[in-house]
Amino acid sequence: MTDERVVLVDESGRAVGTEAKATVHHAATPLHLAFSSYVVDAAGRVLLTQRAFGKPTWPGVWTNSCCGHPLPGEAPDHAVRRRLEDELGITAGPGDVDLVLPEFRYRAEMPTGVVENELCPVYRVWWTGAPTPNPSEVADLRWVAWDDVRTVPDLSPWCLLQLDQLVGSPNEWPTADASRLPAAAQV
């Protein structure tokens, strides 16, 4: 088993090192690179997932389709594809993944004191099918009309913040310029 590492970044988004994913989240979590993605089907519905109850951060919380961390030297859109395959059995092609919020950043604290502190570009992924969730990652999932996403109880703090910035339906989200990604994500 390999020691998966996350990319640590400074306030300007430049890489300043790495840390083991297993130890990076705590009460003083350093700023690091992550991603969020929203899988959208042909009907314009969004796939929401409930995080597995065994996850160390935000267990059992409903959130966007898939989140994760690019490996050192890995482009975030490749990390999106890798994690979608690992978590949901979804294979997304190169033309199916669009950058929509390149500069999203958030900090959130769990009731236990564990902190998320991430530069977290957001992606839209076009895909239709039946996901096959990995139970160690995903407890449940559901396809939801975009207008109904906010009615889902217990949404993750990052998802709620992203909803404020994702204007209109998923079909209307403009694709962002990758040059606006943090420097550490421009691989």
Give me the pLDDT at residue 94, please: 79
The CA distance from 15 to 153, in Å, is 35
Taking only the tens place, the pLDDT of each residue in 120-171 is 999 999 999 999 999 999 999 999 999 999 999 999 999 999 999 999 999 9
The verdict on whether 120 is a catalytic residue reads: no
118 is an active site residue: yes
Record the pTM. Answer: 0.97
Which one-letter DSSP state was computed for residue 183?
G
Segment 45-63 shows an average pLDDT of 97
CATH 3.90.79.10 is held by the domain 5-175:
yes
The predicted structure's pLDDT at residue 1: 39
Please identify which of the residues 67, 87, 116, 159 carries the catalytic annotation: 67
> 143 near 45, Cβ under 8 Å?
yes
pLDDT reading at 86 higher than 60? yes
- Catalytic annotation, pick one of 66, 87, 116, 118: 118
Alpha-carbon distance of 15 to 5, in angstroms, equals 13
How many angstroms separate the CA atoms of 149 and 151, rounded? Answer: 5
DSSP assignment of 58-112 equals STT-EESSEEE-PPTT--HHHHHHHHHHHHH-----GGGEEEEETT-EEEEE-TT
Domain boundaries, the chain: 5-175
**pLDDT over 90, % of the chain:** 97
Average of pLDDT values for 38-44? 96
